[in-house]
Amino acid sequence: MQRVTIVGLGLIGGSIGLGLRRWATNDGKRAAVLEVTGFDANLDQQNYAKKLKAVDDTEWDLAKAVRGADLVVVAVPPLAVREVFEAIAPNLKEGAIVTDVTSTKVDVMRWADELLPKSVHFVGGHPMAGKSQSIEAAEADLFKAATWCVIPAVNADEGAVQTVLGMVSALGAEPMFIDAHEHDGFVGGVSHLPFLMSIALMRTVSRDPAWRDMKFLTSSGFRDMSRLAGGSPDMHRDICSTNREAITRWLDRGIDELQHIRSLVNANTTEADETLLAIFNGARDARADWATTERRDGELVQATGGELIKTSVGEQMNQLFFGSMFRRKPRVGSDPKDARNRRPPRPDRE
| pLDDT tens, residue by residue, 305-348 | 666 554 455 554 454 444 544 444 444 444 444 444 444 444 44
> Which residues contact residue 323 at a Cβ distance below 8 angstroms, ignoring those fewer than 6 apart?
none
HEC profile for the chain?
Answer: CEEEEEECCCHHHHHHHHHHHHHHHCCCCCCCCEEEEEECCCHHHHHHHHHCCCCCEECCCHHHHHCCCCEEEECCCHHHHHHHHHHHHHHCCCCCEEEECCCCCHHHHHHHHHHCCCCCEEEEEEECCCCCCCHHHCCCCCCCCCEEEEEECCCCCHHHHHHHHHHHHHCCCEEEECCHHHHHHHHHHHHHHHHHHHHHHHHHHHCCCCHHHHHHHCCHHHHHHHHHHHCCHHHHHHHHHHCHHHHHHHHHHHHHHHHHHHHHHHHCCHHHHHHHHHHHHHHHHHHHHHHCCEEECCEECCCCHHHCCCCCHHHHHHHHHHCCCCCCCCCCCCCCCCHHHCCCCCCCCC
pLDDT tens sequence across 59-113: 999 999 999 999 999 999 999 999 999 999 999 999 999 999 999 999 999 999 9
> Does the fold of domain 183-267 match that of domain 2-178?
no
Query: What's the CATH code, domain 2-178?
Result: 3.40.50.720
Q: Please state, in angstroms and rounded to a whole number, the distance separating the CA atoms of residues 344 and 70.
A: 82
Q: What is the pLDDT of residues 245-263, one digit of tens each?
A: 999 999 999 999 999 999 9
At 350 the pLDDT is: 36
Report how far residue 288's alpha carbon sits from residue 293's, in angstroms, rounded to the nearest whole number: 9
User: Which pLDDT score is estimated for 250?
Assistant: 98
Sketch the domain layout of the chain as residue ranges: 2-178, 183-267
Give pLDDT, residue 306.
60
pLDDT of residue 178: 97
Which pLDDT band holds residue 37 (cuts at 50, 70, 90)? Answer: very high
pLDDT value at position 330? 41
285-306 pLDDT, tens digit each = 999 999 898 877 667 777 666 6
pLDDT at site 340: 41
User: Over the stretch 103-122, which tens digit does the pLDDT of each residue have?
Assistant: 999 999 999 999 999 999 99
Give the CATH fold of the 183-267 domain: 6-phosphogluconate dehydrogenase C-terminal fold (1.10.3660)
Q: How far is 92 from 95, CA to CA, in rounded Å?
A: 8
Instruction: Give residue 58's pLDDT.
Output: 95
In the predicted model, what is the mean pLDDT of the chain? 87
Instruction: Give residue 327's pLDDT.
Output: 45
Confidence of residue 22 (pLDDT cuts 50, 70, 90): very high
Burial class (CB in 10 A: 0-12, 13-18, 19+), 349: exposed
pLDDT at 301: 74
